[in-house]
């Protein structure tokens, strides 16, 4: 999935390259502090709004991630506009994000309230994935050695986080740097994810471990619906 966001043209390209690669870098450089300030301001603008239209919600998210992809022109009515924007991320405030530009989100994702995303490295959220309340995505870390860590004067590093398509991340889950969660996974509430989770598994615990492989009983039906939106889901109430 390509990153559609506006990446700042940092003067200290070497420091930024180390950051993106997950190597030790200086996080309190003037440029990175300014980048975090921009994103923090965008988050605060979003978080203080009590009610918003679907279009306003989508635009706030674009501001947070500094997306280069504009929203489509407004439809004739608010109802039609909601349908027009249904593939855009639905995010509930409050949300807390470090940089924003390192978040790559697919279509039709949902992020519940009080999510924290430290996107020192790329954080990818696949299409149709759902993030529960109070979830923390930490693509950032610090040296274990206290002398190297050295407070705000020491270096930082990170690791990419990838959440595949059609995942459900339960409430209060924490995902650490370098983790890939495969397509179709469910991660149980309060789990701490320290290692990769294979596709189509349920994982729970601290640390999280796969406990069950999922049967894809509705795979053909869902693929048909995505290929042709006029196809409706089977009524399974009987």
pLDDT digits over 187-231, tens only? 999 999 999 999 999 999 999 999 999 988 877 777 777 777 776
Rounded to two decimals, the pTM is 0.91
In a domain, 220, yes or no: yes
User: In the 8-state DSSP scheme, what is residue 151?
Assistant: G
Q: Beta-carbon neighbour count of residue 169 at 10 Å?
A: 27
In a domain, 136, yes or no: yes
Selected catalytic residue, list 142, 192, 204, 221: 142
pLDDT band at 238 (very low <50, low <70, confident <90, very high): very low
Give the residue ranges of DSSP H helices in the chain: 13-21, 30-47, 54-65, 78-84, 146-149, 219-227
Q: What is the DSSP string of 166-224?
A: T-EE-TT-EE-TT-EE-TT-EE-TT-EE-S-B-SSEEEEETTEEEEEEPP-TTHHHHHH
- Residue 233 predicted with pLDDT over 70: no
In a domain, 7, yes or no: no
Choice between 6 and 128, residue whose per-residue pLDDT is larger: 128
Q: What is the pLDDT of residues 123-150, one digit of tens each?
A: 999 999 999 999 999 999 999 999 999 9
- Residue 236 predicted with pLDDT over 50: no
Q: What is the pLDDT of residue 172?
A: 99
Q: What is the pLDDT of residues 78-108, one digit of tens each?
A: 999 999 999 999 999 999 999 999 999 999 9
CA distance 108 to 129: 8
In a domain, 149, yes or no: yes
In a domain, 77, yes or no: yes
Token representation of residue 121: 């490295």
- Residue 235 predicted with pLDDT over 80: no
Percent of the chain residues topping a pLDDT of 90: 84
Number of domains in the chain: 1
CB-CB contact of 74 with 91 (8 Å): no
3-class DSSP assignment, residue 231: coil
In a domain, 182, yes or no: yes
Percent of the chain residues topping a pLDDT of 70: 96
Q: What is the pLDDT of residue 208?
A: 98
Choice between 228 and 6, residue whose per-residue pLDDT is larger: 6
**CATH code at 21?**
2.160.10.10
61 burial level (CB within 10 Å; 0-12, 13-18, 19+)? buried
| The 192-193 sheet, strands edge to edge | 95-97, 115-118, 136-138, 174-175, 192-193
Residue 163 forms beta bridges with which residues?
125, 181
Chain centroid offset of residue 218 CA: 26
Q: Is 201 a catalytic residue?
A: no
Q: What is the pLDDT of residues 45-58, one digit of tens each?
A: 999 999 999 999 99
Q: What is the pLDDT of residue 237?
A: 41
Token representation of residue 195: 């290692």
In a domain, 190, yes or no: yes
Range of the domain at 114: 13-227
In a domain, 236, yes or no: no
């Amino acid at each position: 999935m390509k990153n559609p966001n506006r990446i700042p043209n940092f003067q200290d390209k070497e420091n930024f390259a180390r950051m993106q690669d997950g190597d030790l870098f200086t996080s309190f450089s003037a440029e990175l502090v300014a980048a975090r300030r921009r994103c923090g301001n965008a988050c605060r603008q979003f978080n203080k709004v009590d009610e918003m239209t679907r279009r306003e919600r989508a635009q706030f998210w674009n501001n947070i991630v500094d997306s280069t992809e504009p929203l489509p022109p407004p439809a004739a009515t608010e109802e039609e506009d909601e349908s027009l924007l249904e593939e855009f991320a639905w995010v509930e405030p409050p949300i807390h994000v470090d940089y924003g530009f390192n978040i790559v989100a697919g279509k039709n994702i949902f992020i519940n309230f009080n999510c924290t995303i430290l996107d020192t490295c790329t954080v990818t959220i696949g299409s149709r994935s759902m993030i529960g309340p109070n979830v923390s995505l930490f693509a950032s870390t610090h040296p274990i050695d206290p002398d190297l860590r050295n407070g705000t004067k020491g270096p930082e590093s990170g690791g990419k986080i990838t959440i595949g398509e059609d995942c459900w991340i339960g409430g209060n889950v924490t995902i650490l740097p370098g983790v890939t969660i495969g397509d179709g996974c469910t991660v149980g509430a309060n789990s701490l994810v320290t290692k990769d989770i294979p596709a189509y598994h349920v994982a729970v615990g601290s640390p999280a471990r796969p406990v069950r492989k999922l049967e894809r009983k509705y795979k053909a039906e869902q693929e048909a619906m995505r290929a042709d939106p006029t196809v409706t889901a089977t009524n399974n109430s009987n």
